[in-house]
């Protein structure tokens, strides 16, 4: 039997089991959402390599230019859950296309910004648009795919998430190398415009409409509470380079208190029979969601921060250009891309074991890279580290893609947007912690010892702590899985236990 025939049979089987009718355009529609998602996630890291050029060209201070990166990440995270709930209540297709159009316009505005103030404002708007796009991606996968096809679709989605983070420095360096001159940094934003316009045009033709009966039923107090809590947790982190952790530490307990109030408010709404912004039963009754969200958050603490540390080491410690610095970490991106697609096909069979093996591979890969870069001759360091980096990338491909699949596969479709938004909010919080803590630690060690190698090893070792915590959580879930569910766990076509809602299509 050919792969195409097998896929068709799997889709037909899913249709028989759930009443779901597969859309013949679903795979083409998936690629539209993946391209848009790739652009939005790439813009988190691609700008970092251009910050020195932006600062010189726009005569900005270090604190101002840092907001070009941190402002985008902050706005991105603040929008996710609310955007997901709006997609569930209204129309995911419409919100996705509107957000994508706004993202294109804001990208053009970033490229044309005459001063740092307008650039930061445009980046904030761009991050908000990206945050409204992101949860629709995973929700549309939930809607368009069932059974083994959903695992493969999430494999491609996980590959997109991993690659976009890993290749940001390389892509930014390549654009700066091609667009020479003081204004070359503007093309980092302009490149989104033609790609985004094409994605909008194709999305209008291919994406399915998802109008729902819950129009207008959005929990406004919940939006305000969640937004205030996430802002309180993230703001000191995005201000870390200007002393925000020391000045604004009190926002961490304040944010925790606000989020506790948010959880209580959501439970009160459920007791009244009103639709909450984020249903607490996602974490208590939907199998695998709470563990997957925890694993993703812990993993992104280390995963996101290491790229800035590598950039600092290669560019400042070894004198590499931005392009060469990006090429040095390309083996990781290649390993992640190839493994994520394969993992999407294996998650149905092996389940959480894939995450355990993947995290072990990342830990071995990054730990081995740290040791090789610490002790190998500088002229050969990047070459001898390449195979070990590739191993780490393969491990990452077996972490991100399967974890997203196992976290979201049993979420009822009518809750898919909010669930995807909450999952990505945790990942953004983890990324904010990593991008603030690891470079800060790198500079702290460097300032005391003037040893770039020692600073790199310390920062990477700290990143591994977060990954070890994720490994411990994944291992506990895998062992519990074997004891309680046996081989039944890992079937993506099983319906989640939900005492009040049936799975909707």
263 CB burial (10 A radius; 0-12, 13-18, 19+): middle
Q: Residues 378-409: pLDDT tens digits?
A: 777 778 888 999 999 899 889 887 888 888 87
Residue pair 10/150 in contact (Cβ under 8 Å)? The answer is no
pLDDT for 333 equals 80
pLDDT for 223 equals 83
pLDDT for 96 equals 92
Confidence of residue 486 (pLDDT cuts 50, 70, 90): low
202 CB burial (10 A radius; 0-12, 13-18, 19+): middle
Q: Residues 302-335: pLDDT tens digits?
A: 887 787 788 788 878 888 877 787 788 888 888 8
Instruction: Give the span between the Cα atoms of 99 and 122, in whole angstroms.
Output: 14
pLDDT over threshold 90, residue 125: yes
For 254, half-sphere exposure in the C-beta direction (CA atoms, 13 angstrom radius) is 12
Of 122, 131, 152, the C-alpha closest to 4 is 152
Q: Which residue has the tokens 């790609």?
A: 195
pLDDT over threshold 80, residue 188: yes
Residue pair 112/57 in contact (Cβ under 8 Å)? The answer is no
* pLDDT-wise least confident of 123-127, 153-157, 243-247, 437-441: 243-247
- The mean predicted confidence, pLDDT, of the chain is 80
pLDDT for 501 equals 42
Report the percentage of the chain scoring pLDDT > 90: 19
pLDDT over threshold 50, residue 5: no
Q: Residues 328-374: pLDDT tens digits?
A: 888 888 888 788 778 877 877 888 899 999 999 999 999 999 898 88
Kindly report the length of the chain. 505
pLDDT for 283 equals 85
Instruction: Give the span between the Cα atoms of 188 and 263, in whole angstroms.
Output: 39
pLDDT for 165 equals 67
Pick 17 or 266 by higher pLDDT: 266
Pick 108 or 332 by higher pLDDT: 108
Instruction: Give the span between the Cα atoms of 310 and 169, in whole angstroms.
Output: 10
Most confident of 7-16, 168-177, 419-428, 471-480: 471-480
pLDDT for 241 equals 65
DSSP letters spanning 417-435: HHHHHHHHHHHHHHHHHHH
Pick 490 or 388 by higher pLDDT: 388
Instruction: Give the span between the Cα atoms of 33 and 145, in whole angstroms.
Output: 14
pLDDT for 502 equals 38
pLDDT over threshold 70, residue 74: yes
Q: Residues 274-288: pLDDT tens digits?
A: 778 887 888 888 888
Instruction: Give the span between the Cα atoms of 144 and 500, in whole angstroms.
Output: 23
Confidence of residue 99 (pLDDT cuts 50, 70, 90): very high
pLDDT for 126 equals 94
Residue pair 168/307 in contact (Cβ under 8 Å)? The answer is yes
Which residues, other chains included, contact 114 with Cβ-Cβ below 8 Å and sequence gap of 6+?
none
Average pLDDT over residues 290-305: 86
pLDDT over threshold 80, residue 499: no
């Amino acid at each position: 039997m050919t792969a195409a025939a097998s896929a068709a049979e799997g889709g037909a089987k899913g249709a028989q089991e759930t009443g779901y009718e597969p859309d013949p355009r679903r795979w083409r529609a998936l690629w539209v959402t993946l391209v848009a998602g790739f652009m939005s996630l790439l813009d988190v890291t691609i700008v970092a390599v251009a910050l020195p050029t932006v600062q010189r060209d726009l005569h900005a201070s270090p604190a101002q230019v840092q907001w070009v990166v941190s402002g985008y990440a902050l706005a991105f995270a603040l929008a996710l859950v609310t955007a997901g709930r709006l997609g569930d209540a209204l129309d995911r297709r419409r919100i996705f296309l509107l957000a994508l159009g706004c993202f294109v316009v804001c990208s053009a505005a970033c490229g044309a910004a005459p001063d740092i103030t307008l650039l930061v404002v445009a980046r904030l708007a761009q991050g908000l648009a990206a945050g409204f796009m992101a949860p629709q991606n995973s929700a549309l996968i939930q809607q368009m795919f069932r059974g083994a096809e959903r695992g493969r679709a999430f494999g491609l989605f996980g590959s997109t998430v991993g690659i976009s983070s890993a290749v940001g420095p390389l892509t930014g360096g390549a654009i700066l190398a091609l667009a020479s001159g003081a204004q070359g940094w503007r093309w980092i934003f302009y490149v989104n415009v033609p790609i985004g316009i094409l994605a909008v045009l194709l999305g209008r033709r291919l994406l399915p409409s998802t109008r729902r009966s819950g129009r207008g039923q959005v929990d406004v107090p919940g939006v305000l509470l969640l937004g205030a809590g996430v802002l309180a947790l993230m703001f000191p982190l995005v201000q870390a380079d200007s002393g925000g952790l020391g000045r604004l530490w009190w926002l961490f307990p304040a944010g925790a208190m606000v989020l506790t109030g948010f959880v209580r408010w959501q439970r009160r709404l459920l007791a009244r029979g009103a639709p909450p912004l984020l249903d607490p039963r996602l974490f208590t009754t939907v199998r695998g969601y709470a563990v997957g969200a925890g694993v993703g958050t812990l993993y992104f603490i280390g995963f996101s921060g290491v790229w800035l540390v590598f950039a600092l080491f290669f560019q400042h410690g070894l004198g590499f250009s931005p392009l060469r610095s990006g090429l040095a970490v390309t083996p990781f991106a290649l390993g992640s891309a190839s493994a994520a697609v394969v993992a999407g096909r294996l998650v149905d069979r092996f389940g959480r074991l894939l995450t355990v093996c993947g995290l072990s591979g990342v830990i071995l890969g990054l730990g081995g890279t740290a040791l090789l870069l610490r002790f190998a001759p500088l002229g050969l360091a990047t070459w001898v580290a390449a195979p070990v980096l590739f191993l780490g990338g393969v491990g990452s491909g077996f972490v991100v893609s399967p974890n997203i699949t196992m976290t979201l596969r049993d979420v009822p479709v009518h809750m898919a947007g909010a669930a995807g938004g909450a999952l990505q909010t945790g990942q953004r919080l983890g990324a904010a912690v990593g991008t603030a803590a690891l470079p800060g630690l790198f500079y702290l060690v460097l300032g005391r010892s003037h040893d770039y190698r020692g600073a790199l090893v310390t920062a990477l070792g700290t990143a591994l702590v977060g990954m070890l915590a994720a490994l411990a959580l994944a291992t506990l879930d895998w062992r519990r899985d074997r004891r309680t569910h046996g081989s039944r766990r890992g079937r993506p076509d099983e319906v989640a236990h939900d005492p009040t809602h049936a799975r909707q299509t």
